[in-house]
Structure 1
Amino acid sequence: MATHLDLEEQEQLDQLKHFWNQWGTPITSVLVVVLGSFAAWNGWQLWQQRQAEQAAALADAVTVAIESQDQGRVALAFEALKNEYGSTVQASQAALQVAKSAEAAHKSDTAKAALQWAADHAEDPGYQAAAKLRLAALHVEAKDYDAAAAVLQGAIAPEFNALVQDRLGDVLQLQGKTQEAIAAYQQAWQQLDPRLEYRALVGFKLNALGVATTTPQAS
């Protein structure tokens, strides 16, 4: 009996060796790829978390410096945040904060620089649109209408295009470009939700320029 079992075990071992000789290398390769991918994914997640935490710490430093009205510390903290974590949401938020603080301190050039950075680098379309609209407003205040129009005519996420076109219409009017202003207002009018009160304001602007508007009837 023992000999019979030994023969069976030997046969199983021989089959296992044969299987491993034939498939061992491919199986090992697959395991290496799978385990390597899993480790890389975990490493990426940890790196992302660490980046967010460090960016948040620098963003907090920007906020504290703004609250203490220490413009030197604001500039240092914001510069570090841009250089090291410029692709994060925290950097875009900080840019808008810095611009608001600079405007309050009557430092228009600093505010424009922060908004221009956000307009160029913000990955979130909402922050990018907000930066462009505010930057255009600063250029209008400075009566630099060409610069304002250039900002508003750049690429923008579709969901914010109506607001940008409305602001562009205002700038074009100030430049004396009535027909171009009408075209911009019409784009805004067509893209805005008819239920929004803001759309009525755009309609008033068109009416003032001699262009009739009609509101689609609700079904």
Structure 2
Amino acid sequence: MSDHLTEEEQLENLKRLWKEYGSTVIVSVVVATGGYFGWNFWQDQQQAKAEAASDFYEQLVTTAGEGNATDEAHRATISHLAEQVKDTDKDSAYAAQAALYAAQAAVTGEDLETAKGQLNWVLENSDSPALQEIARLRLARVLASEGSYDDALSLVANQPATGFAAEQAEVRGDILRQNGDNAAALTAYQSAIEKVGTEQQQRRVVLQMKIDNLKLANSAEEPSA
């Protein structure tokens, strides 16, 4: 009899506990299960976005390599594919690289406004210091080609991203030379060649040619004794 009463008491205790805490247990289970499936769904979505962006980017690279960027229809295709990549996954490296491709095609077609828009998009949306630096240097060249020398120089005035010191100094030299400041351009080129790695022989040759040409130009400008 005592055993039977004990079982009844245990059953009553279980009923009471369920009444008091059952809803909390159910909510906890639902939240945990929902979180698990929600996380998996989010991961699946991210994977699908990455794969779609990769596919569009591959099409863009293939298109860019096969056509002629001086052709308006070809540039339009590159621009369309770049927008597809950006719209699909704007936070991916594919998106920034696609914008750089579109900017390059636009420059070839002398559509500088589109080029500036694509390069500014990289600066505003990419979290890659290297890709941002590439966009910044290219934008500086575009601005210089328009005659906006002060704006161009402001983009190459600060500390560059790691690995871009020589390239930044060279771009600064090119802009200064375009603006007629040969002395400052020469200083920038000399700074660039000092920063170029020993394995980059071709870069060193090009920079040395720029330095030699400026020295000749400066000598020709000096009045004879």
Compute the TM-score of the two structures, normalised by the length of structure 1: 0.64
* Pair 119,163 (structure 1): closer, same or farther in 2 beyond 3 Å: farther
How far apart, in 2, do the equivalents of 1:172 and 1:96 lie?
Answer: 20
Contact 1:99 / 1:114 at 8 angstroms: preserved in 2?
yes
Distance 1:99 1:57 in 2: 20
Match in the other structure for 2:16: 18
Counterpart for residue 211 of structure 1: none
Question: Residue 33 of structure 1 aligns with which residue?
Answer: 31
- The alignment status of 1:76 with 2:80, answered yes or no, reads yes
After TM superposition, give the deviation of residue 49 of structure 1 in Å: 0.9
Percent identity reads 26
Q: 1:131 aligns with which of 130, 135, 153?
A: 135
CA RMSD in angstroms comes to: 4.0
Deviates more, 1:75-84 or 1:127-136: 75-84
Structure 2 letter corresponding to 1:77: L
- Paired with 1:49 and 1:27, the residues of 2 have a C-alpha distance of 33
If the length of structure 2 is used for normalisation, what is the TM-score? 0.63
CA distance in 2, matches of 1:67, 1:96: 14
**Counterpart-to-counterpart distance in 1, 2:161 and 2:148:** 26
* Partner residue in 2 for 1:58: 56
Secondary structure of the equivalent of 1:115?
helix
User: In 2, Cα distance between the equivalents of 1:115 and 1:158?
Assistant: 16
The offset of 1:48, in angstroms, is: 0.9
Amino acid at match of 1:38: Y
8 A Cα contact 1:66 1:98, kept in partner: no
Aligned length in residues: 191
Equivalent-residue separation in structure 2 for 1:99 and 1:65 (angstroms): 14
* Partner secondary structure for residue 135 of structure 2: helix
Structure 2 equivalent of residue 121 of structure 1? 125
Query: Do the aligned partners of residues 171 and 65 (structure 1) sit closer, same or farther apart at CA in structure 2, a change above 3 Å counting?
Result: closer
Aligned residue for 1:48?
A: 46
Aligned to 1:107: 110
The runs of 5 or more residues in structure 1 that have no matched partner are 206-219
Q: Secondary structure at the match of 2:81?
A: helix
**Secondary structure at the residue paired with 2:91?**
coil
Q: Shift in Å at residue 167 of structure 1?
A: 6.2
**One-letter amino acid of the structure 1 residue matched with residue 92 of structure 2:** T
**Once the 2 structures are TM-superposed, how far is the Cα of residue 131 of structure 1 from its aligned partner?**
0.7
Structure 2 unaligned spans of 5+: 68-73, 205-210, 212-225
Q: What CA deviation, in whole Å up to 9, does each residue of 1:59-78 have, x standing for no partner? A: 12222321231223112212
